[in-house]
Structure 1
């Protein structure tokens, strides 16, 4: 299924024209466009429909029909005929009109498969050179209307800059003598952000009264959504506008709130991930522009934002439903402060009197952005299930002890990014309902023994990024930038194997946790889907890899090898048939066997040396979509992404959409073949240690962006831009400084 941004680059418009032209002479005369209601009509399809060149060259009659509900085929036919109808039966006349002419017909707001069955059986016949474009809000309806999946378009909302640019063009088209003034630009940019990239709503009325109609539609739209999805949608208003939301954070919170539950058919996690995918499809949430890629059609790595327009609607409803209460810059003392979810924003003045005026008796979640204050934990928060302090400032060990003592019903606890937390108290074992514990990027080095009492714990995310001095370097030959920062695991207690419902665990320092003893504990965690370990050496590697053989559900594995890892992959079998993501850091000069990596979609390698045979190994990973290579040395200083057989170049790396390269060599030559990486969209190159010579960039036909990391040299950027000057996709080139060590 195609995913095109709303009125994207001219290439995308031309592509849709091409599909329309092909549809005239195919057995699939129908093109389906789906997304949030109104988006397709407002931009992509309307632009196509009113394209005079398209009409004059391909069609001699055209009509736009808004489907009325309840649906009536006779009334629909009359609307379609417009000024073409006579005294004949309208249905019969429509059928004749479509079969005898080259018609372009747009059917807007089709809501069900039954409506399409009536239209198709009565009006659509073959042979015909007419084309029908169907606009709907449902993906299932869109795919039902055409038997060609390549002619189904999922229309996304515009990014803010593109939305503003479209609006300027519309103003100029309608009134060339009155361009937008600078101060009007600023006001409109703010409003467009709230409209979630739907600038058509601002076209006609200077007071924007037409937004009221859209809110009325939105109310109806949400009313018809599945009941199971509604709480997840309204929950999104917890996160501020522009705030990036990680999928795992959101899904784990939904589970803690009871929005996603285990059933015989699917787990709560699977259900939550399906909900997330549905919201992404509907453009209720949108990928952050800097992270947009269609890599492997998988949302597990997606960081998103709430669609601005939809968020405005949700916020307008949340107080009516008594759902969410927000402490921000405009808060005043009032007696009407209650709700299920409390948000404390960065710009609230931390007024203790205002805080203590709130009724916490029904509070289910507390989310803090910015500075933490010790009075934020109240004795009356007895029903609190979710405490989310990700990246909050000033949270200390004594605050955590108070939280654990008072909030015994917690199911979700996130201290992620709270660097002043050094210890988890032994009283953590009293949180018997806890399902999720996220202490990633804190100063915590070990888990307390009491954690083994938490029989409902499913998700432990720990470990932090530290300076190189705190990490054992796998090899002195690794380039300096590899040793600058790394992921440091934590020590887990004896008995960790009792947590048999865990499906995510990491990063565990195997060496610090007892070596072979902790490996035997890991063997008992048969429900694990994601596992991260560090401290793997030749002394414990065989036991570790043997233990993973029983983890049949494992989909994601991270392994950081220690300094004593020479030969640790020799003579081992890796039973990783279901792995989709694999991270191997600290390899010396040997890759693992590839026989059981047929499903691998993401591979992150850090190793001393990479040989030509290793590239062939990578090329044989047929499902690979994301490839990250950090290599100390390369054979002859060359990296060739292509392969030949009998003198003919083979199709290789055909699904790779993201490629990242870093090397310790002073100079590196990278070559792309004419039949390699034809799907690549994003190329990242670390320029902090090596200078790169790139050949064959124009063969990368889908390339959208090249990101040069670790440099601010404009000359490097300009040289690369000149190489890409004739590239059909006109990819952008950006400079990005690497994060400093801290």
Structure 2
């Protein structure tokens, strides 16, 4: 048996039988406590009552990390078993890397891991020092920041985004950061840094003058501030007066309720301006944005207006306005010819000439109703556009809905013939998307993700004819009124489909998934607005499915079905996660319990032994035994 912190080494050791790689997980609370108490007192029963609460506080800091638990427990074993002594240790955990040699073992091992990293990963890891403790860092946000600062090394034949993704994977595999929320593609939605690891990173970052973090405490500012991050409330107005070091700053970030930030005109070489989490940001704070001619990345919150000077930022690559209340962009925004990503809040009106932004690859929350026919047609001229997110509303905002549909579909046809890979359509009010069902021809053959989500009455009456022809489709989220057997057979034949989220308006008939299809599907999320008996999986169906979500109504099932049927879950040998919602309306308690027992029994027999997460809905509407 070989043990390693590096996932790639583990795979090499077990090649070609990668199923024998066992990823270690953090200890749960009970196991953490047993390890901690054994190291400190030899037995949990020997722990004084007054130390039990502080013990739990310290364990929360360790976050299930055996190395941290063992070393902190060893330190406490040398202290007097008093609450005062332990409180001192608990409070000093965040600063011991600079002060307390008794944490030498933890420090040395973590240092060893850090110095073993290649240079490009070291600088990316140090960049995480700007984020607050326990902060969940969005994966794509992090990669875009790294790209803007030039921390990602360009590799021939590979996009910068893909290289950034590999950096994230390497740091996770080396246990330097922790993934949060794995999606169907195996990528984390976000990541976080363990508290003890963050202390190390901040210590190294400060020592090397990589980044400067300002909190409520006083801090001596470096002569040259390369990266500045403000946490919490810095309300001293004189703090920024006479600071010469800001002219060397490459990134500026704010987290929390800072009362005062320096004038943007002080930042002469700034590349990253990340004010997404600055809760007190106002329009006046960004009045000098035109001076920041080196900016590559901007993320704002709260503001309601973008200055016309935005057009001067000729190197800007990312403009993220999702957390603002902006409703109109100035005409100068079309001068941003190097802009790659534009993220908008709801209901933004774009200026005429958006097709001048020739580098644009991603546009989110494009509101069809708020934009003119000219802009709708210019959308189709964005030849590099890969990702398009659309807000579709039919609540009276359209001046001419029929014309808007015509121009929008015309642009979709052009985009589909070029580089469009992802299309997301959302709506908050009832509307029909049937205008897309037959009109998108020729089909977008390079489309990899299609999502139409929103209100339960925001749906298609049937499956669009062009979807079965999408040979590169990996993700499909769709709401339809009815799905025929022919439609299901067509979906089964999609060769690259990994994730299917399918919801239908009415589900009175059983959905049967037969063998011979969905050969690569890994996650299936089935929904029905009007209830129903749930799906049935025949032998050989979905051979690679790992995650399954579905609802069912107990009252729609016969006695034999309730007591003996497990929906064919026993046929899903690759299943690792199972989430089920039981609609208890008009059902008896024994029916609900029998259905739950059948599901758990079947899941327990599977190779991965998934533990079903079963949720009851409408328990108050169940039939009581005395009502029979």
TM bucket (normalised to shorter chain) is 0.7 to 0.9
SS in 1 for 2:21: strand
Aligned residues: 556
TM superposition shift of 1:503: 1.8
Aligned-partner Cα distance in 1 for 2:31–2:203: 23
Aligned-partner Cα distance in 1 for 2:285–2:582: 38
1:382-410: CA deviations, max 9, x gaps?
2222111224323233333x242443432
Shift in CA distance, 309/460, structure 1 to aligned 2, threshold 3 Å: same
Aligned-partner Cα distance in 2 for 1:526–1:570: 23
SS in 2 for 1:540: helix
Aligned-partner Cα distance in 1 for 2:360–2:306: 19
**Corresponding residue for residue 536 of structure 2:** 672
1:226-256: CA deviations, max 9, x gaps?
2222211111122222211111100110011
**Corresponding residue for residue 416 of structure 2:** 549
SS in 1 for 2:134: coil
SS in 2 for 1:539: helix
1:154-206: CA deviations, max 9, x gaps?
63551664762563586599647536852353243144139587544446453
1:621 corresponds to 2:621: no
Aligned-partner Cα distance in 1 for 2:66–2:381: 47
1:386 corresponds to 2:272: yes
SS in 2 for 1:633: coil
Aligned-partner Cα distance in 1 for 2:476–2:343: 20
Shift in CA distance, 306/705, structure 1 to aligned 2, threshold 3 Å: farther
Aligned-partner Cα distance in 1 for 2:30–2:249: 40
1:733 corresponds to 2:621: no
Aligned-partner Cα distance in 2 for 1:193–1:442: 34
Aligned-partner Cα distance in 1 for 2:582–2:509: 20
Q: 1:502 aligns with which of 328, 344, 360?
A: 360
**Corresponding residue for residue 123 of structure 2:** 231
Q: 2:157 aligns with which of 261, 265, 287?
A: 265
Q: 1:430 aligns with which of 312, 318, 340?
A: 312
Shift in CA distance, 681/240, structure 1 to aligned 2, threshold 3 Å: farther
Aligned-partner Cα distance in 1 for 2:257–2:53: 34
SS in 1 for 2:365: strand
SS in 2 for 1:228: helix
1:599 corresponds to 2:472: yes
2:554–2:592 contact (8 Å) kept in structure 1: no
1:362 corresponds to 2:248: yes
**Corresponding residue for residue 53 of structure 1:** none
1:157–1:197 contact (8 Å) kept in structure 2: no
Q: TM-score when scaled to structure 1? A: 0.66
**Corresponding residue for residue 186 of structure 1:** 56
1:206 corresponds to 2:76: yes
RMSD of equivalent CA atoms: 3.9
**Corresponding residue for residue 46 of structure 1:** none
Aligned-partner Cα distance in 1 for 2:41–2:442: 62
TM superposition shift of 1:685: 5.8
Aligned-partner Cα distance in 2 for 1:352–1:690: 64
**Corresponding residue for residue 493 of structure 1:** 351
**Corresponding residue for residue 330 of structure 2:** 448
SS in 2 for 1:240: coil
Q: How does 1:296-315 map to 2 (within 5 A)?
A: 296-297=185-186, 299=187, 302-315=189-202
Aligned-partner Cα distance in 1 for 2:547–2:280: 37
Shift in CA distance, 706/422, structure 1 to aligned 2, threshold 3 Å: same
1:337–1:357 contact (8 Å) kept in structure 2: no
SS in 2 for 1:155: coil
1:407 corresponds to 2:279: no
2:445–2:472 contact (8 Å) kept in structure 1: yes
Aligned-partner Cα distance in 1 for 2:599–2:27: 24
1:488-547: CA deviations, max 9, x gaps?
x533222212222222112222353334x4454333333222122344965235413321
TM superposition shift of 1:707: 6.7
**Corresponding residue for residue 532 of structure 1:** 389
**Corresponding residue for residue 318 of structure 1:** 205
Shift in CA distance, 333/545, structure 1 to aligned 2, threshold 3 Å: closer
Q: TM-score when scaled to structure 2? A: 0.77
Shift in CA distance, 564/160, structure 1 to aligned 2, threshold 3 Å: closer
1:642 corresponds to 2:500: no
SS in 2 for 1:383: coil
Q: 1:569 aligns with which of 419, 423, 437?
A: 437
TM superposition shift of 1:610: 3.5
TM superposition shift of 1:370: 1.8
SS in 2 for 1:206: helix
TM superposition shift of 1:212: 1.5
1:426–1:449 contact (8 Å) kept in structure 2: yes
1:604-628: CA deviations, max 9, x gaps?
1133443443333333334333222
SS in 1 for 2:114: helix
SS in 1 for 2:423: strand
Aligned-partner Cα distance in 1 for 2:46–2:583: 45
SS in 2 for 1:460: strand
Greater RCO, CA 8 A, separation 6+: 1
Aligned-partner Cα distance in 1 for 2:52–2:594: 34
**Which segment is superposed worse, 536-545 or 436-445?**
536-545
Aligned-partner Cα distance in 1 for 2:256–2:512: 45
**Corresponding residue for residue 2 of structure 2:** 134
Shift in CA distance, 493/657, structure 1 to aligned 2, threshold 3 Å: same
Aligned-partner Cα distance in 2 for 1:545–1:336: 52
Aligned-partner Cα distance in 2 for 1:172–1:216: 21
Aligned-partner Cα distance in 2 for 1:724–1:598: 34
**Corresponding residue for residue 513 of structure 1:** 371
TM superposition shift of 1:433: 2.0
Unaligned runs of 5+ in 2: 79-100, 393-400, 618-628
1:402-423: CA deviations, max 9, x gaps?
24244343211112xx3x4223
Shift in CA distance, 610/170, structure 1 to aligned 2, threshold 3 Å: farther
**Which segment is superposed worse, 250-259 or 560-569?**
560-569
SS in 2 for 1:452: helix
Q: 2:462 aligns with which of 590, 610, 615?
A: 590
Shift in CA distance, 659/397, structure 1 to aligned 2, threshold 3 Å: farther
Aligned-partner Cα distance in 2 for 1:146–1:165: 33
2:314–2:338 contact (8 Å) kept in structure 1: yes
Q: 2:228 aligns with which of 342, 349, 370?
A: 342
